Structure 1
Amino acid sequence: MHICPPPKDEFKKRFTDYPDVNGGFGHTLLEQLNEDDGSLADILKEYFESAHLDARNIFHANIGIDLHPDAAGDEPVVVYPGSLPSTTRRGLFGEVMAGLLSETYKYVGGHTWCVPIFLFRHHEDVFQYLFSLVRDPEKKRQTIGRLGSDFIGLALDDERRVVRIISGEAKWRKTLTQGVVDTLMLGDWVAKDKSKEKSKANRKRSGKGVWYYVNSEPTIPSGARQLQRLLQEHDPDGYDATILSLQRALVAKNPEPIPKTDLVVVIGNGGKEREKRACLLPIKSPPPEYTAGNDLQIMEVILTGGEDLIDAIYANLWKEGENA
């Protein structure tokens, strides 16, 4: 289970937040106050370990790694998530940050969100990558992403019944500019007419960006089933009401609906010419490309030295003699 609370106070000391809520739409800009001196990576370490622990245990067992302190031999060279390609770790960073932000800040609707467990064990290509890498260290390559939503969380009542689901997309980009974000949200440029020469007049967005995937997600996302199964495995008594309410929503015939909030997290370093409080996504109302019709929360997170922060976090996980 994911049992580590977010370091809210320490995190908020390092960021200025500019929230804006209009009806069923919320937008929050977070700006890092100063470049990390190592302390931010330190305060995030425990949260990231908690987020990755379930997947770490599963992957290590499946690929044949024993991290028990009494296990024979030296510490393994291949570990999850530290041995993953840099691009993969950056994607994982965005997904963990989606959970941390959801548990730290108030979103549209004022719900209290929790992340009982992250779904990283369901990253099939990571398993395939690590399984090969531990047997042949030369087999390094890029991995493809995990299917389904990047993030899923729950709002629970006093009886731990699910009253609302939050899910969506979390994306890291090294440098956030308007062009980068437009491509991220709307898709790459493609030719309107492939028979004609390439020109700005003969191009359009593919439409296969973040908005497409958010709009395409079912009202009850597939990740809800994965989450339910993990709760049954790890804490069936503590989350019995959660499991039951998810089951009622997940049946194919006459499901009990659960309201949904869509989340979009875009995180990266600001561009060189970026001005303070400048936003790259809508702040007052959803864009026309968003058609799902749920409550929508956008989080824009501007880091200073974000790549160094990510590298420091993932280099430090389960160090200092700690066991998996």
Structure 2
Amino acid sequence: MIRFRRIALNPLNDWLSAKPSSGSHGKYELRVWREVNANFAAVRDELIAYAQEALDDARARIRKGFEETLSPFSDAADDPAAHYPAMLNRITLQGYLGETLAGLAVEHFGAFGENDWCVPAFLFRFHDQEFQHLDLINERFLRGAVHDPDAVVERRPGRTGDDALAFRLDQGGKITHVLALEAKCLIRNNSTTIAEAHNKLAEGTCRPSGIRELITLLSDYKTDEAQAWVARLLELFKEGFKTAERRDGLAYTVGNWPKQPATRVSWLSPNAPHASYTAGRRLDAMEFQLEALEQLVDTLYRGF
């Protein structure tokens, strides 16, 4: 565990208002939150801190080997992470927002009726395409060249693998449940994206690839808590996955919501998963409807 921030629930609930959703599927649940933008100011600073902490490990990886003990990046020109993530393309930042909201929801609102899920770390450090892109961006700034982060040519592929993983532990600290999270974040609803997200979750195995990545990541931290997570994740990777229960979570963040018919609350189905989800595991679908999604990206990642 290398991250500890939580957001006060009252302002968070005021900003993300839970909408009623009913369904009768035994293994599927849909939860919907709709932004109340007028209440954002009260949660703004905590949300920024939460989102930035989620990226701290990625920054540490970018900076590794470049630090000077006596003068840790006193000049931004010497800091390889100075433009991370603000100068990355908006599509990438939307992806980061979607993954962060997935973890935030599970940690603050629970899942499957349980409120003790833990996300020990986010996996942003494995987005190698963007780290290579960042080198190019840094060079442009050093040369005094123009950089338009939202130009189409600045788009890069998203990271493959699990978007995030959450875990439940028994009283002895052993992992009993694994929640594999797939996150999508779009300005407008897209039914093809919904189908693809369900299909990706369905293809997941009992031992998600993100477990290996978390072991690699947390091994860089020598705190007792981080090393305890390494030990339990190694146990899960070697044998524990055979008995730990895998569950799936879909976090769908979208900048609009249905208008017709007036009774429709969500883009995701309230009654059953998409037909492309064929795994038969328990699935928690979460939909975040953010009317100011583009502004939120700027606020969290670009300081606007």
Are residues 1:269 and 2:255 paired? yes
Deviation at 1:258, TM superposition (A): 1.7
Change (3 A) 1:255 1:164: closer
**SS at 1:238's partner residue?**
helix
Cα distance in 1, alignment partners of residues 62 and 72 from structure 2: 19
Deviation at 1:309, TM superposition (A): 1.3
For 1:204-215, list aligned pairs within 5 A: 209-215=196-202
Are residues 1:283 and 2:292 paired? no
The code of the aligned residue for 1:73 comes to D
Deviation at 1:66, TM superposition (A): 6.9
Cα distance in 1, alignment partners of residues 192 and 7 from structure 2: 31
Report which stretch shifted further, 39-48 or 276-285: 276-285
Cα distance in 2, alignment partners of residues 305 and 229 from structure 1: 36
**SS at 1:312's partner residue?**
helix
Are residues 1:183 and 2:204 paired? no
Are residues 1:8 and 2:9 paired? yes
For 1:215-234, list aligned pairs within 5 A: 215-234=202-221
**TM-score if structure 1 supplies the norm length?**
0.79
8 Å contact kept, 2:11–2:42: no
**TM-score if structure 2 supplies the norm length?**
0.84
8 Å contact kept, 1:99–1:151: yes
The code of the aligned residue for 1:183 comes to T
Match of 1:120 among 121, 124, 127: 124
**SS at 2:194's partner residue?**
helix
Structure 2: segments with no counterpart, 5+ residues: none
Are residues 1:250 and 2:234 paired? no
Q: CA RMSD in A?
A: 2.8
**SS at 2:225's partner residue?**
coil
- Deviations, residues 84-127 of structure 1 (Å, cap 9, x unaligned): 11111111011111110111113225252111111111111111
2:90 maps to which residue?
86
**SS at 1:289's partner residue?**
coil
Deviation at 1:131, TM superposition (A): 1.6
Structure 1: segments with no counterpart, 5+ residues: 187-208, 318-324
- Deviations, residues 215-257 of structure 1 (Å, cap 9, x unaligned): 1122111101111232333256325554334223323x89633
Are residues 1:30 and 2:33 paired? yes
1:61 maps to which residue?
64
- Deviations, residues 266-303 of structure 1 (Å, cap 9, x unaligned): 11222473547622212123333211121100001111
Are residues 1:131 and 2:121 paired? no
8 Å contact kept, 2:258–2:264: no
Deviation at 1:312, TM superposition (A): 1.1
8 Å contact kept, 1:51–1:117: yes
1:237 maps to which residue?
224
Aligned residues: 289
Change (3 A) 1:67 1:263: farther
Deviation at 1:46, TM superposition (A): 1.1
The code of the aligned residue for 1:121 comes to R
**SS at 2:278's partner residue?**
coil
8 Å contact kept, 1:269–1:306: yes
Change (3 A) 1:50 1:158: farther
2:44 maps to which residue?
41
Change (3 A) 1:260 1:6: farther
Cα distance in 2, alignment partners of residues 68 and 143 from structure 1: 35
Cα distance in 1, alignment partners of residues 269 and 205 from structure 2: 24
8 Å contact kept, 2:178–2:246: yes
Change (3 A) 1:304 1:36: farther
Question: Could you say which structure has the higher helix fraction?
Answer: 2
Question: Percent identity over the alignment?
Answer: 24
